[in-house]
Structure 1
């Protein structure tokens, strides 16, 4: 029976259509054809017919100690699982379904950016790593590409979205399903690397989430390196091929799924994606939720940048990491601040009900800062316009984030019960614009408190904070970081505009009591409070004779963090989040505070705890200055 079926590609294709072929193969009722079939996608057929691929596969089978035919059959199965194309009616059918799925938003794309990309598209593969705040991103990016005359992109999507019966449609619409966990699948990793290399040789355009999954906090997550590493390997083997990284920022005025994501960040189990989930997700998009802004960042010529990094002894062994971090910085630079973000920032800062005039008064200094630093604003909105802010407040009420009351002399707005994390998500979409400002403020606190050499104290503190927060934010190299700090100081005192000059503790105090806005307590406090919880639990951790149980440790951080929030030992429950604990734990690993039996572990953990206590104290100084309503 196996031979009869595998000799008839049309039967195999029919089994694929109903999602049955892989089930039959797992049950041992059907063998995997190891040669190219007429129904195979172009890259799959090319690889299965390629002698070099066959040779490398034979080498892999020998290294694994497995029979070559068995390994080749496994590889062929993985190739067909991964393989995608743009063919027949599928792209048009998917476009209609995608339009229904994303109907809650109006897509805004800069036509000048797409015009430039059309010219670049003729000569090389365009690689579109995108920020990932919604399931809709994988729909939005390829739609923005193909609808603007750029060669349709293939989407590297998580295999968790391989949902029957839409998976067959999506494969023929350019969706490449990639498994998340491949540690124990050496043949799969080999096949995925070869497939991506073949796509780049064929000058395909590709897009994928640089974060690997959706952010649960609103800000860009640390990048994953797997897909990018395969693309770099592909360029090394595909002589003459060119690829251009085009960073993509996607930011929404509002999203239906934010409450679900913030719940997941607090440890609530994620619901698995299936057909019922997809239908419910689509139905949730019935209510209009404003605009989605898609911006293309500054392109990065991959081959040229690789040559530069490989020629620099300081970056040896960290080339992929450097490319990923540079890509993330370019995504952040392209990400505009939305009116939603600044309104949520204002209400989170007040932590009480505000009138429209009070919201405008809170937003005004922030708007001036954004203008002075030349940061992009979504839709070129006027953040000081009364009608714009009022419309955003009302939209957030309709979205369930804010509550309003108009029964008194004026309408007032405040963050609804249980919605602080949702408001923080929207605020965090703009947090990258304010991190330098916040770090500069803490540098001035250090200068104010540490003696007469203010410049030296501020430099020391800002560099310490850069190292402390490097797993949460994307800082440029030290020379560029110093330039950013100089630009921040120049806003406080224009006399500092041509570079750093010596200043005193009195100067630092004068600047801190006069500049607006002060943001360190709004921007960094949630993250530093989470670091404080992690440092405290590490200092109290007693099972150092056993391998470190990360899951149990993070569970304890959630419980203690919840306690501290109720006791007001941390500013808010926003800090009680796995998404914030994990980078802190990564920092602890980097500092060798986790490894069992490491020398002076207890002493180093205590030093980390003291450092976090002092850092949080300095943030409280900024909060007190802001609360006093300085002259």
Structure 2
């Protein structure tokens, strides 16, 4: 089948804006709950805060001012009216918001536990999507922590009346504010209100999950511990994975990757929403993970810190495990990995079927829409969206079979966002492919070489993803090898003794993933060349980050024109250049001191450069199913 244009009509902005103007009606005639006396009493009685402000009326006034700045001002009548507005409006922007509770009834859980939802964060639309679905399903409000950057008219009042409470982006030096926030969380837990906060601390700019921020985790643990034991319910965190098939802000996020400054949210930005009305956003997928009960809080601060970090990462891993492969992320991986830049529709379908077969066999979560029986229809809709949103172009004569699909050059970094949301699921088959290329070529000759290879690859990717353990990687490797050759392989020693025919079978099985992480390798190669250039010329005594980033971009542009090693435009971004530099620092090749960087081990730098170049060329030398 040949796809040429979007089947779905563009959204008419006038009709939607008539509904959008109805927001003003939401602010009139509502009986808001404005008796905050009980809230103030509980907040002011919180032991850590009370001991600080006792006998200090001016401090108490500051606390009450902070509380007013923070607190939600929930109105159930308002929420019901807002629900009707969203019922009418969201269906014009989205194909659907799909919620999978995986057997966890949040309404029932909240009766027995202090419930805290911890989602990842891709878009400002997350606030609306999760809270809307929660209210529709359970007819109960959800109290979400939002950054005070969103506390602008009309979004701020709307969110606050829907159950959002606002938090300053930074408050490390304001102990009174911190204690007020912790006391407010204590109040919420005492009242049994379900809470939600985005554990990454902000939206992901790259699509990759960001490491968890610990602040709210620890505040909740301490606030919960202050509830009398006979009245205390278990503190239960529910990991939530949210994936958008199209992110409204992705163009501005891509600009930030190139070094553009984040534009501060303002009321004026809302006018930009009109432009988005011509876009299609597909589906939003919300997936619940297994709930995690927080252990009782230890009194020792060091033990509390360790426990908090362990809890946060347990939730983080559960979110990552449940990030579903969607039609858009699947297309993104297929189209971006094609180094020639264009594919026929049948080629796209063939690759998609291989990837989905792998997912089903090795328990990678996928949306129902891309199960094999639904795959083609869903990919058609997804390519429609990308064409309609001017991210993919159709090349060739539409009246013949010579039609190709290619991501536009200036949209590759935008589309990379969606690939990055699922890339962690496919790191092991990519590593396996690279390892078996090295086995086949004779660069790896014994089991020790193979073990060292896996350990080194994991070390390199650690700066991009939170990875499985070496043991988990090796176990999945053995499962992949066994599946490919049709017999059970239980040790790495057996892998080294495989025949050439068996090596080919393995390469054929994982060949579809052979380029999945190549843009990352290219970034590390560029970083190595940049360090070599800086240390050999004007900056032998050291250089600042600003100098490094500028030279990195220059080296990338030069190497990209040569097209000898560098094939992908997305191998340049500011976050990627910084994370690749971190790898060289942790490898003790680069030294960092007082804001200056110096190359300390030139021999090791040359060794790493040669290895990365060899790996990239090796990946290109065997072309099976890719």
Q: Mapping of 1:32-431 within 5 angstroms?
A: 39-40=35-36, 43-50=39-46, 53-57=49-53, 68-96=56-84, 98=86, 100=89, 103-110=92-99, 113=102, 116-149=105-138, 151-238=140-227, 239=229, 240-281=232-273, 284-285=276-277, 287-303=279-295, 318-350=306-338, 351-383=340-372, 385-404=375-394, 405-410=396-401, 411-431=403-423
**8 A Cα contact 1:545 1:597, kept in partner:** no
Cα drift, residue 617 of structure 1: 2.5
Q: How many residues align?
A: 580
Cα drift, residue 82 of structure 1: 0.9
Cα drift, residue 248 of structure 1: 1.1
1:31-90 deviation per Cα after TM superposition (whole angstroms, max 9, x unaligned): xxxxxx9653754442125565321446xxxxxxxx944443333322221111422533
Cα drift, residue 206 of structure 1: 1.6
Cα drift, residue 484 of structure 1: 2.6
Match of residue 527, structure 1, among 496, 520, 523:
520
**8 A Cα contact 2:96 2:283, kept in partner:** yes
1:244-299 deviation per Cα after TM superposition (whole angstroms, max 9, x unaligned): 22111111222333222111111122222111212422661454422111111122
Cα drift, residue 160 of structure 1: 0.9
Q: What do you get for the CA RMSD once the two structures are aligned?
A: 3.5
Give TM-score, length-normalised by structure 2.
Answer: 0.82
**Quick one: structure 1 residues 56 and 563, their matched pair in 2 at CA, closer, same or farther if it must change by over 3 Å?**
farther
1:501-553 deviation per Cα after TM superposition (whole angstroms, max 9, x unaligned): 4332664784256423425553222222223334444453677978x844554
**Structure 2 alignment gaps of length 5 or more:** 1-26
**Quick one: structure 1 residues 56 and 349, their matched pair in 2 at CA, closer, same or farther if it must change by over 3 Å?**
same
Write the distance in 1 (CA, Å) between the matches of 2:606 and 2:311. Answer: 33
**Structure 1 alignment gaps of length 5 or more:** 1-16, 19-36, 59-66
**Quick one: structure 1 residues 243 and 588, their matched pair in 2 at CA, closer, same or farther if it must change by over 3 Å?**
farther
Cα drift, residue 109 of structure 1: 3.4
**Quick one: structure 1 residues 193 and 50, their matched pair in 2 at CA, closer, same or farther if it must change by over 3 Å?**
closer
**1:566 paired to 2:561:** yes
Please name the residue that 1:12 is paired with: none
**8 A Cα contact 1:101 1:282, kept in partner:** no
Match of residue 474, structure 2, among 475, 482, 488:
482
The structure showing larger relative contact order (alpha-carbon pairs under 8 Å, at least 6 residues apart) is 2
Cα drift, residue 243 of structure 1: 1.8
Write the distance in 1 (CA, Å) between the matches of 2:126 and 2:45. Answer: 35
Cα drift, residue 362 of structure 1: 2.5
**8 A Cα contact 2:240 2:287, kept in partner:** yes
Give TM-score, length-normalised by structure 1.
Answer: 0.81
**8 A Cα contact 2:334 2:348, kept in partner:** yes
**1:622 paired to 2:584:** no
2:129 partner SS: helix
1:310-354 deviation per Cα after TM superposition (whole angstroms, max 9, x unaligned): 9xx9x9954333333322221122121112222222222333332
Higher mean displacement: 121-130 or 37-46 = 37-46
**8 A Cα contact 1:341 1:427, kept in partner:** yes
Higher mean displacement: 383-392 or 127-136 = 383-392
1:175-196 deviation per Cα after TM superposition (whole angstroms, max 9, x unaligned): 1111222233333223223322
**1:578 paired to 2:574:** yes
